């Protein structure tokens, strides 16, 4: 695998997974944790450089309060455990998105996780929380307008609190069967290969990541040029 590969995943389908089992939607979010762990583990083994996971979109604030509370509780509870795992596996964990609307326990947990894992070099794992690509692009443009000229990419990084530049997305995976971007990394996916799978996120795992990577390897990327 190329050593600068950026894989991004829209982890979708938790609610439908739970519905199928007559469980509350929050049970689907809980079940998704195992998929996340396995996916991260496989990403390290495959020497993926950056893995960006969409965990909560800015539009997800429109969901019922009870579901948002359950999700935020899961995040606050899982971040310390995930950080410990990241330390063991030499993974750097960082969070992108807005930070001014997250509940205090989530904010504290994410800052702690970032600090604990900041020296990780085996994989850069980025969790997108309260993330909106459109909102980030708009803020970056505003920043440039207010500050005269400037580097747009740095303004964009600043707009969604990215702590360092990362390569553009090479492979975008969406689980859950929908074939849309839902406001995720619109700029960074300009030439991303798109891979959609009907599997709900709780049914995704390392093996399924390997299947997606194998499909990606067969794609011919042209970036607008004529193939050699």
**In this structure, is the dihedral angle defined by the CA atoms of residues 175, 196, 178 and 95, taken in order, positive or negative?**
positive
What CA–CA distance (Å, rounded) separates 225 from 228?
9
Size of the site for ligand IPE (CB under 6 A): 17
Q: How many CB atoms lie within 10 A of CB 16?
A: 15
Least distance (Å) between residue 32 CB and ligand IPE: 7
The C-alpha torsion from 220 through 224 and 227 to 228, rounded to 10°, is: -130
10 makes contact, choosing from ligand IPE, Mg ion, none, with CB < 5 to 8 Å by partner type, with ligand IPE
> Would residue 97 be called left, alpha or beta, if left means φ above 0 and alpha means ψ between -120 and 50 degrees?
left
What CA–CA distance (Å, rounded) separates 152 from 175?
31
Does the annotation mark 205 as catalytic?
Answer: no
210 makes contact, choosing from Mg ion, ligand IPE, none, with CB < 5 to 8 Å by partner type, with none
Nearer to Mg ion, 67 or 163 (CB): 67
x/- mask, Mg ion, residues 9-48, rule CB under 5 A, reads ---x------------------------------------
For ligand IPE, the binding residue among 27, 43, 55, 70 (CB under 6 A) is 55
- Helices 65-89 and 104-117 cross at an angle (nearest 10°) of 10
Does position 199 interact with Mg ion (CB under 5 A)? The reply is no
For ligand IPE, the binding residue among 180, 219, 221, 222 (CB under 6 A) is 180
| Residues between 6 and 25 that touch ligand IPE (CB under 6 A) | 10-16
Question: Which residues form the catalytic set?
Answer: 12, 60
């Amino acid at each position: 695998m190329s050593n600068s590969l950026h894989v991004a995943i829209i982890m979708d389908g938790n609610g439908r997974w739970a519905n199928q089992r007559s469980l509350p939607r929050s049970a689907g979010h809980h079940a998704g944790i195992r998929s996340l762990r396995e996916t991260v583990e496989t990403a390290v083994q495959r020497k993926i450089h950056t893995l960006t996971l969409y965990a909560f979109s800015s539009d997800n604030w429109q969901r019922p309060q009870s579901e948002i509370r359950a999700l935020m509780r899961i995040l606050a509870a899982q971040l310390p455990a995930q950080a410990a795992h990241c330390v063991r596996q030499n993974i750097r964990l960082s969070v992108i998105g807005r930070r001014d609307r997250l509940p205090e326990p989530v904010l504290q947990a994410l800052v702690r996780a970032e600090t604990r894992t900041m020296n990780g070099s085996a994989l850069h794992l980025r969790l997108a929380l309260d993330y909106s690509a459109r909102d980030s692009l708009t803020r970056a443009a505003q920043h440039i307008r207010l500050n005269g000229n400037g580097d747009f990419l740095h303004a964009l990084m600043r707009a969604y609190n990215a702590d360092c530049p990362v390569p553009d997305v090479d492979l975008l995976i969406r689980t859950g069967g929908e074939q849309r971007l839902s406001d995720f990394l619109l700029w960074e996916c300009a030439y991303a290969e798109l891979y959609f799978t009907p599997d709900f996120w709780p049914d995704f795992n390392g093996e399924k990541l390997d299947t997606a990577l194998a499909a990606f390897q067969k794609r011919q990327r042209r970036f607008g040029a004529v193939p050699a």
